[in-house]
Amino acid sequence: MESNRLIFTYDSTINKVDRIKLLNQTPKIIWFTGLSASGKSTLANALEHKLYEKGLKTYLLDGDNLRNTLNSDLAFSNEDREENIRRVSHLAQTLVDAGLIVITAFISPFKKDREFARSLVEENEFIEVFVDTPLEVCEKRDPKGLYKKARAGEIKDFTGVDSIYEKPENPELRVVNDRDLDISLNKIINYLEKYN
């Protein structure tokens, strides 16, 4: 606790309001959550492409990519999953402060961790998108062979198999990505246009 007395917040002369004016957009976090292979990354990538085409300034934070960089020291225990989302949440908050539209794609299995991410930004700056693809569809896809390994006991604490996934109770958006990608993508775009 002693070291906290040495840490102070530095206020930059250029602030979030200035950046919003310069970028001419409303910053926000669009938080995709769902099981492994639910289609989070595919949807997030497609959404970023659509927003980019509209001239919006975005940044995509993907779970696999950050597990290889910022969070490469973390495993998959519940504690490490919580720390993974804590770090990502603060990174997303910083990018929102920069005036960007941040798109995240993380399993983020625990409700309290998603609520923490939401708490870091203003109420209208967080959009939770639950990619509610059925487990059996995710297992059938299994592009990385993770479900197969988990069912064989080669991977422990795998979300949806032997570790819980707490479904969002009141997400801003729920999409079922076992159908046409464009249907889910258009639902998200329509929501953003209506509430931006």
How far from 38 is each of 33, 61, 80, 143, CA to CA, in Å?
9, 16, 21, 11
pLDDT tops 60 at residue 52: yes
- The whole-number pLDDT of residue 76 equals 86
Query: Looking at the DSSP assignment, which residues form a beta bridge with residue 102?
Result: 29, 59
| Cα–Cα distance for residue pair 122/109, rounded to 1 Å | 22
Q: Residue 195 has what pLDDT?
A: 80
- Annotated catalytic sites, by residue? 108
Predicted confidence band of residue 107 (pLDDT cuts 50, 70, 90):
very high
pLDDT score, position 147: 93
Tell me the per-residue pLDDT of 4-23, one tens digit each, with 9 for 90 and over. Answer: 677 777 778 899 999 999 99
Q: Compute the average pLDDT of residues 76-92.
A: 94
The CATH number assigned to the domain with range 2-195 reads 3.40.50.300
Distance CA 61, CA 74 (A): 17
Quick one: tokens of 100? 């960007």
pLDDT at 179 over 70: no
Q: Which residues have CB under 8 Å from 14's CB, separation 6+? A: none
So where are the chain's domains?
A: 2-195
